[in-house]
Chain A
Amino acid sequence: MSTYWRTFKTAAWLGWEMDSNWTEPWLFVLYSVIKPVAGAFILVLMYIVFVAIGRPQGDTDAFSYMYVGNSFFIFVATVLFGTFQVIQSDREWYQTIRYIYISPISYYVYILGRAASKIAVAVFAVAITLLFGAMFLGVRLHLALADVPMFLVSTVLGLAVLLAIGICLGGISFLTAKHTHGLAEGIPGLFYVFCGVLFPLSILPTWGQAIGRAIPLTYWFEITRRLIAPTITVNTTLAGFDPLTILLFLIVSSVGFFALSVLIYKVGEYFARKAGKIDMTTSY
């Protein structure tokens, strides 16, 4: 266990250094904020344009729904990318995977450690985005003190599910060429569409709603929105689930996805070794 912890700590430190030491700290903070805030502003402008031509009285409920969902989606994009890009960056870019892989550590734990620094940056970006929305854009946020423990537990469970999904993708990327950016855009895109991040599931066709209901992150977004923006009245079609049921569902999901991540990781690793792809480079 102490080896796992040491691996995790060292990998987290390494990840942090790789992410942040390319520039001055103030520039890194600015960099960490600009990207998510600009992403939120795309939605703000989409809303402004629609209101200007289609709904002059505005729709603050729809806007708040979308803004809160988008803010928490920063976790999805960052944690997923932070996890599955580790294999490809070590393999293709730094070409260090062979040395790390043969060292006496768990590569699975090493990946989790590398992702930890990205989670830290994501927490900061989510907080800034929400604060900006509440202060300047009229997003209605209200987290009651009594709801804080449940909010923290649900956030940790949501992140655990995301890390497990990230490792699943990492396992697959053992076998693929340098598709990090396709994956970085595409897999979060899957959750962006089907998990009720920006719009309620009712907008999707029936089959799309079924997919959304089968993804645990849908419930994570639902409970998060209920806890920090309880006044939003948009019908999410998930009103039938009470918060404790959702929490229980998240616990079961995180355990299930953890098991799945170990399985996919091991299978991917096995076939990569068999095909001699552990340290391949595909630099076209």
Chain B
Amino acid sequence: MSEAKARRSDLRYRIGLNLRAVKGRSYPRIVGANREPSWIFFEAFLPLLGIAAYVFVYQFFGGQALAAITTKTTAAPWGMCGHDPCANAAAQAAAAAAVGANTNALVASVVLGGTMVAFWLNVLWSMASQLYWEKEIGNLQLYMMAPMNRMALLGGMAVGGMVMTSMRAISTLVAGVLVFGVIFQVASPLMLLAVFFATLIALYGLGMMFASLYLLWGREAWNLSALMEEPIFFSSGFYFPLGGLLRIPGWGPAIAIAGSFIPASLGLDALRQLTLGSTAFGSNFWIFDVTTELEILVGMAVLFLILARYCLAYLETLAKREGKLTSRHQ
């Protein structure tokens, strides 16, 4: 056995090589991006505005509902409490307080959804589309010739992406608390961390799987990523509790079930339960309890990582066979 062959079959060497590949691929995302400071403005500050718009929508609804409660008419001297006039001042005050609490919970839902949007967009544009992008700019062939495992390459992209995106996610959370006055009540921080990381691993596992599929699809990949923005924000309940879909007879539950295949759906549902309390929204909008959702997320994480491994190996071979590995702009 030659020296080179012996080294390649040495487990310690291979682990070291792949860890170096993870570090090497995550390095440009963590360090390289910070050399271009304009990204902080574009990636952290500007996206907050879109989230702010959804926050103001709920505040608009809340304001309108409050106006209905506090507007006195001859028929309703204490304003309207739902369909009927309020019985007295106490009923009016209780209705107004309920509107305030619900508005806060919905605003908090938007803020949490906004943090997850950052990760989802990163998965779409910097994970799933990345191998396709590398092919377009001519780096892919270099990766394919390098001796490390391809999963290490994707792992490095994922780690770098998570760190880079955390900046945006944290700024969204901070803005939610400081600017919009959102109140989070975290009863179980460990569970919260477990759900958060299980969601991230499952999400990035899905991104790794998409990366290999995109490698084969060519130009459709870019459009597919664009297509997986608003429809996924909608079907996965990024800006409203996912259980809201279950209240729509017919197509609502079907969309909710389809959306649940994106780990962010159940992850957000669990995170909302853990930060707003399971009694928020009158407990009407939750899909499962937190433990069940965590179990499903862990299952998804394992499944997507395994599928990513197989997809990558299969599609790399297929792309080589069909001569698409280095063909650009197709």
Across the interface, name the chain A residue whose C-beta is closest to B232.
Answer: A38
Contact of A38 with B61 in the complex, beta carbons under 8 Å: no
Known: A54-B61, A199-B57. A185 touches B46 (CB 8 A): yes
Contact of B28 with A192 in the complex, beta carbons under 8 Å: no
Say yes or no for A121: interface residue by CB 8 A criterion. no
Q: Please tell me which one of the listed residues B57, B82, B121, B230 contacts residue A56 in the complex, with CB atoms under 8 A apart.
A: B82
Contact of A189 with B47 in the complex, beta carbons under 8 Å: yes
One of A173-181, A217-225, A242-250 contacting the partner: A173-181
Contact of B282 with A53 in the complex, beta carbons under 8 Å: yes
Contact of A182 with B58 in the complex, beta carbons under 8 Å: no
Instruction: List residues of A (52-108) whose CB comes within 8 Å of B's CBs.
Output: 52-57, 59, 62, 66, 92-95
B221-250 Cβ-contact flags toward A at 8 Å (1 or 0): 011001101110111011111001101100
A-chain residues with CB within 8 Å of residue B83 when the two chains form the complex: 56-57
B-chain residues with CB within 8 Å of residue A190 when the two chains form the complex: 46, 49
B17 to chain A, nearest CB (A): 22
Contact of B29 with A193 in the complex, beta carbons under 8 Å: no
Contact of A34 with B42 in the complex, beta carbons under 8 Å: no
Known: A45-B245, A189-B46. A200 touches B61 (CB 8 A): no
A-chain residues with CB within 8 Å of residue B188 when the two chains form the complex: none
Contact of A203 with B234 in the complex, beta carbons under 8 Å: no
The CA-CA distance from A204 to B42 in the complex, in Å, is 23
Chain B count of residues within 8 A CB distance of the other chain: 72
The CA-CA distance from A190 to B48 in the complex, in Å, is 9
Contact of B240 with A45 in the complex, beta carbons under 8 Å: yes
Contact of A198 with B45 in the complex, beta carbons under 8 Å: no
B-chain residues with CB within 8 Å of residue A203 when the two chains form the complex: 56, 59-60, 63
The CA-CA distance from A25 to B76 in the complex, in Å, is 57
Say yes or no for A273: interface residue by CB 8 A criterion. no
Instruction: List residues of B (22-57) whose CB comes within 8 Å of A's CBs.
Output: 28-29, 32-33, 36, 38-39, 41-43, 45-54, 56-57
Say yes or no for B174: interface residue by CB 8 A criterion. no
Say yes or no for B197: interface residue by CB 8 A criterion. no
One of B133-141, B265-273, B311-319 contacting the partner: B133-141
Q: Please tell me which one of the listed residues A54, A200, A283 contacts residue B65 in the complex, with CB atoms under 8 A apart.
A: A54
One of B8-16, B98-106, B286-294 contacting the partner: B98-106
Contact of B39 with A189 in the complex, beta carbons under 8 Å: no
Interface residues of chain A, those whose CB is within 8 Å of chain B, are: 22-23, 31, 34-36, 38-39, 41-43, 45-50, 52-57, 59, 62, 66, 92-95, 176-177, 179, 181-183, 185-190, 192-193, 197-200, 203-204, 281-284
